[in-house]
Amino acid sequence: MDSGVYAVVVGLATVIASGVVSSYVMYRLNRNKDQTFFMRQKAEALYLAADEFGRDLSKHVVICLPVAKGELEYNAMLDLQIANAPDKRNGGFETLNMLANICYPEVLPALKVLLLVRDKFNKLCAVHKQAYKEGAGVGLPWTRQFSELGQEAGQAIEALKTAIIQSARRHAGAPRERL
């Protein structure tokens, strides 16, 4: 093969190889960018769903306090709960649970703590309802229990949101500093 043909073949091979490498690199960059964008959207949805679930749980705790203090009848509390039903604009618990299990499993321990607090609240409500029916559901022991549970719920909600932020920073390229 003479040197002119050889130079043309090497030149064409170089152009083709650089085009293939360039295409591959561009594909990987776009895929990573799309993945980061997708994970950022899911992190935002997870955070909003967690915040919504936390606000709903807190509302229920707050609505129970006046009954425990004797300032509100039990049926009036039920009417307030119905009137202030969660709107689930951000998907509520269903979205929170789905995104935590599928996209951000690192937050599951914090979510489990919050669910344990919710279960404690539900048990307290059941015991309080029975005591209220028997005429013993009002007083300092009940207000103390609901107040302490409200604080515990608030801490669990904040811990979950912090776990979501930390996980999002690892997986979604979120900035390291909080504004």
pTM of the model: 0.77
pLDDT of residue 179: 44
Residue ranges covered by each domain of the chain:
36-171
Whether 56 shows a pLDDT value over 60: the answer reads yes
Q: What percent of the chain has pLDDT over 90?
A: 46
The angle formed by the CA atoms of residues 58, 84 and 137, to the nearest 5 degrees, is: 60
Integer Cα distance of 81 and 75 in angstroms: 10
pLDDT of residue 99: 94
Mean pLDDT rounded to a whole number for the chain: 85
Integer Cα distance of 113 and 94 in angstroms: 17
Whether residue 103 contacts residue 42, with contact meaning beta carbons closer than 8 Å, is answered with yes
**Two tokens, residue 62:** 């707050």
Q: What are the tens digits of pLDDT across the range 131-175?
A: 998 988 889 999 999 999 999 999 999 999 999 999 988 887 655
Q: What is the mean pLDDT of residues 108-123?
A: 96
